Amino acid sequence: MLQVEALQAAYGESQVLHDIGFEVGEGEVVTLLGRNGMGKTTTVNTVFGLLKARAGRVIVDGADLTNAAPHRIARAGLGLVPEGRQVFPTLSVRENLVAMARPGQWVLERVLSLFPRLAERMGHMGNQLSGGEQQMLAIGRALMTNPRLLVLDEATEGLAPLIRDEIWNCLAQLKAAGESILIIDKNVDALTRIADRHVVIEKGRTVWTGSSDELRAAPEVKERFLHV
């Protein structure tokens, strides 16, 4: 469904991505792993057209969408849960959810069944929610676009342990429902329980790919590329 080929990108004269390549198939859960500053968020931003690629290709369902406008990427079926959540602070929970809704199976009632806590906060503004509630809202908002691929940048960063568990449980439900998901997070143990494949990035390059079983059996990969 998504193919990223030899992707390169830079901020001004500082090149960050040198050779990123991976793919996400229909119904797959794939992770982007790596230490801070290795290019994971830059990869996501480039895929979504928020940063221009210098070289390489972003292909969605066979269509070359490299450097397409973000709204075209969204219309092609990619939904983003950005790092830092970025919910609309002065819109209510309901307004956040319906603001970018598109027709499909994900309707308001289904999102609220996935995140019952949001149903209790429908009249609250985005800036009145806890960090965990904002993350649930950001995921729900992305699902309301009825994406074919859900992309989460730092899925559980900065959240309390109980809230993290709730997010992982929700993602497991999405996987069981056949959703295609690309996840960035630092919790390798949780990711290996949910993901089909993993892509490790080091200094803007793809340096390792493999299944969860292969990652568990390769402590040298975690030690070399993931541990601080």
Average per-residue pLDDT for the chain: 95
| CATH placement of domain 1-77+149-158+179-228 | 3.40.50.300
Pairing state of beta strands 78-81 and 197-202? Answer: unpaired
Report whether 60 contacts 76 (CB < 8 A).
yes
Please tell me the pTM assigned to this model. 0.94
Burial (0-12, 13-18, 19+ Cβ within 10 Å), 204: buried
Predicted confidence (pLDDT) per residue in 139-149, tens digit: 999 999 999 99
Report whether pLDDT(151) > 70. Answer: yes
What confidence score (pLDDT) does residue 81 get? 96
Strands (E), 45-100: 53-60, 63-64, 78-81
In the chain, where does the domain assigned CATH 3.40.50.300 lie? 1-77+149-158+179-228
By the 8 A CB rule, do 62 and 2 touch?
no
Question: Cα separations (Å) of 199 from 13, 76, 170, 215?
Answer: 26, 23, 22, 10
HSE of 147, CA atoms in CB hemisphere, 13 A? 27
> How do residues 42-97 score in pLDDT, each as one tens digit?
999 999 999 999 999 999 999 999 999 999 999 999 999 999 899 999 999 999 99
